[in-house]
């Protein structure tokens, strides 16, 4: 796409069509959502479609990719709060249909909490569409290098580069949590359709590697190559190193 806004508009239209066709069939739409700066443009477009074109999210169920471990929902940098501010409070989604991994569970409860998250996705009918960003380490969700193709929702340690990239938001690297709970690569690959978004030259190198290197665990986004319905929607700067 010539610009990130055009890409975001195109995906918002696609999601609107998906929701409307599912509504017509009397079935809910299950969306996997991402946080970070990349999907903000998409969320703005979805809010616009809700306001201007009566797109309803009453029958939409959402599952977010990840949450920092140890942050309360009310923390200014929690992904729970991010989603409320960037999308959920602006649309008519039912609060009971919103799911994020619980970053507040004790260590002893992490395993059962992650298993429950996987079970909730299955009980909802599976992810119809998963939206992704990509980190400069090649992470999707918080699946850092070393994550396996069949990994599932779990507690992970954040890469140093990921923590450095988050330092500004947390007013210093020392304040960035060391751990997060993330859907696994296998969880993401179980979605019926996946759309990865990336904007700007800062993502150009990782996009080229994700698309052109053989799939391998040193760059988890490369595992997306094996999915039957994967698209990368990127702007010209993020595409600048593709050969
Ligand atoms: C966010 C997530 C991460 C981000 C990635 C890019 O839920 O799972 O993988 O998508 O770190 O972040 P931004 O968009 O801020 O560059």
pLDDT in tens, 52-71: 999 999 999 999 999 999 99
Domain count, the chain: 1
Which residue minimizes the CA distance to atom 1 of ligand 1?
A: 35
Q: Is position 202 within any domain?
A: no
Whether 9 is in the pocket of ligand 1, judged by its Cβ within 6 Å, is no
Q: 130 lies in a domain?
A: yes
From the DSSP assignment, how many helices (H) and strands (E) are in the chain?
Answer: 7, 9
In a domain, 101, yes or no: yes
Distance 161 CA to ligand 1 centre (A): 12
Minimum-distance ligand 1 atom for the alpha carbon of 64: 7
| Pairing status of strand 66-68 against strand 154-157 | unpaired
CA of 90 to the centre of ligand 1 (A): 21
pLDDT for 116 equals: 98
**Do 205 and 137 contact (CB within 8 A), yes or no?**
no
Percent of the chain past pLDDT 70, that is, above it, reads: 100
CB 163 within 8 A of CB 176: yes
Q: Helix or strand or coil: residue 66?
A: strand
Question: What pLDDT score was predicted for residue 42?
Answer: 98
Rounded to whole angstroms, the Cα distance separating 25 from 45 reads 24
The answer to whether 36 and 134 have CB atoms below 8 angstroms apart is no
Q: What is the pTM of this model?
A: 0.98
Q: What is the pLDDT of residue 71?
A: 96
Cβ–ligand 1 distance for 34 under 6 Å, the answer yes
Q: Which residues contact 96 (CB under 8 A, 6 or more apart)?
A: none
Is the Cβ atom of 184 under 6 angstroms away from ligand 1? Answer: no
Both tokens of 240, joined, read 């600048």
Q: Report the C-alpha gap between 35 and 132 in whole angstroms.
A: 9
Residue 243 falls inside a structural domain: no
What's the helix, strand, coil split of the chain in %, to 5? 40, 15, 40
Q: Which of 13, 74, 76 is nearest to 46 (CA)?
A: 13
CATH number at residue 38: 3.40.50.1360
Kindly state the average pLDDT of the residues 12-32: 98
**How high is the pLDDT of residue 75?**
97
Our measurement of the distance from residue 87's CA atom to the centroid of its chain's CA atoms, rounded to an integer in Å, reads 13
Q: What is the tens place of the pLDDT at every residue in 93-145?
A: 999 999 999 999 999 999 999 999 999 999 999 999 999 999 999 999 999 99
pLDDT tens, position by position, 196-237:
999 999 999 999 999 999 999 999 999 999 899 999 999 999
As a whole number of angstroms, the distance between CA 133 and CA 207 comes to: 11
Token pair 């942050």 in the structure block, residue: 71
Q: Is the ipTM, as predicted for this complex, more than 0.95?
A: yes
CB atoms within 10 A of CB 94: 12
Taking CA atoms only, the protein residue closest to ligand 1 atom 4 is: 133
Q: Is the CB of 141 under 6 A from ligand 1?
A: yes
What confidence score (pLDDT) does residue 93 get?
98
Radius of gyration (C-alpha) of the chain in whole angstroms: 17
Is 207 within the bounds of a domain?
Answer: no
Q: Is residue 206 part of a domain?
A: no
| Residue whose CA lies nearest to ligand 1 atom number 8 | 141
Range of the domain at 160: 4-197+215-233
Distance CA 100, CA 93 (A): 14
Residue 208, in any domain of the structure: no
* DSSP 3-state of 231: strand
List the residue whose alpha carbon is closest to atom 9 of ligand 1: 141
Domain-embedded: residue 106? yes
**CB of 135 shorter than 6 A to ligand 1:** yes
Q: Return the H-helix or E-strand segment holding 129.
A: strand 129-132
Looking at residue 229, what is its pLDDT?
98
Which of 144, 173, 205, 236 is catalytic? The answer is 144
In angstroms, the CA 21 to CA 186 distance is 27
| 77 annotated active-site | no
Give the whole-angstrom CA distance, residue 113 versus residue 119: 10
Q: Is 181 in the pocket of ligand 1 (CB under 6 A)?
A: no
């Amino acid at each position: 796409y010539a610009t990130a806004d055009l890409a975001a508009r195109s995906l918002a239209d696609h999601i609107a069509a998906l929701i409307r066709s599912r509504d017509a069939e009397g079935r809910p739409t299950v969306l996997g959502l991402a946080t970070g700066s990349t999907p903000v443009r998409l969320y703005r477009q979805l809010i616009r479609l809700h306001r201007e074109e009566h797109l309803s999210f009453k029958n939409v169920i959402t599952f977010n990719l990840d949450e920092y471990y140890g942050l309360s929902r009310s923390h200014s940098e929690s992904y729970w709060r991010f989603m409320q501010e960037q999308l959920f409070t602006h649309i008519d989604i039912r609060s009971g249909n919103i799911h994020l991994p619980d970053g507040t569970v004790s260590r002893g409860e992490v395993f059962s909490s992650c298993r429950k998250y996987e079970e909730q996705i299955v009980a909802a009918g599976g992810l119809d569409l998963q939206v992704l960003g990509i980190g400069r380490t090649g992470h999707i969700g918080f699946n850092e290098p070393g994550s396996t193709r069949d990994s599932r929702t779990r507690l992970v340690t954040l890469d140093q580069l990921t923590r450095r990239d988050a330092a500004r938001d947390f007013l210093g690297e020392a304040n960035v949590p060391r751990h997060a709970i993330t859907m696994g690569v296998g969880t993401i690959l179980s979605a019926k359709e996946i759309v990865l978004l990336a904007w700007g030259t800062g993502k150009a190198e990782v996009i080229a590697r994700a698309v052109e290197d053989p799939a391998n665990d040193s760059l988890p986004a490369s595992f997306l190559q094996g999915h039957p319905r994967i698209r990368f929607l990127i702007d010209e700067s993020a595409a600048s190193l593709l050969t």
